[in-house]
Amino acid sequence: MEYWNAFWVGGLICVIGQILIDKTKLTSARILVLFVVSGCILGGIGIYEPIKEYAGAGATVPLTGFGYLLSKGVKEEIDAVGALGILTGGLKAAAGGISAAVLFAFFASLLANPKEK
């Protein structure tokens, strides 16, 4: 059941992105930013948390999940160290993901070359 929930919620988030690419003039870079910011706002006002509980990786893997993680990190860090957490919390919580992205991108660049689509 949890696989199914992850699948349809994650899929639905991606469908929104696909519709934005096909039906609007937004570039993919803008959609990316839009998704991260939306996740951040939805996380901040407490809406993303229940979605994550319900769908698991279906909600954390898409870009909105990254936005949610930033907001969650800020909240936790404010509780722990106070106002400084507004600046440090987000990246602290997302450090694993960001470092992994840089590292794996580096390894991928050693192994693969860009191609004509």
Partner 1 sequence: MEQSSKRIGKQTVRFQNPVNILSAASTVGPKEGEGPLKEYFDQVITDILYGQKSWEKAESRFVEENMKLAVKKAGMSMEQVDYILCGDLLNQCAGSTFGIRALNRPFFGLFGACSTMGEAMSLGSMLIDGGFAQNVLLGASSHFCSAEKQFRFPLDMGTQRPQTSTWTVTGDGAVVLGRKKGAVRITEVTTGKIVDLGVTDANNMGAAMAPAAADLMMAHFRDTGRGPKDYDLILTGDLGTVGRELVVELLAKEGYYLDQRYTDCGIEIYDPKTQDTHAGGSGCACSAVTFCGYYYPMLLKGKLRRILFIPTGALMSPTTSQQGESIPSIAHGLVIESPEKEEY
What are the residues binding partner 1 (CB under 8 A)?
Answer: 21-22, 25, 27-29, 109, 114-117
Closest CB to partner 1 among 99 and 109? 109
Write down the least CB distance from residue 117 to partner 1, Å.
Answer: 7
Cβ 48 vs Cβ 66: under 8 Å: no
Closest CB to partner 1 among 82 and 114? 114
**Nearest in space to 51 (alpha carbons), one of 32, 68, 34:** 68
Write down the least CB distance from residue 83 to partner 1, Å.
Answer: 35
Give counts: helices (H), strands (E), the chain: 6, 0
Closest CB to partner 1 among 30 and 86? 30
Using CA atoms of 97, 24, 44, 74 in order, give the dihedral in degrees to the nearest 10. 30
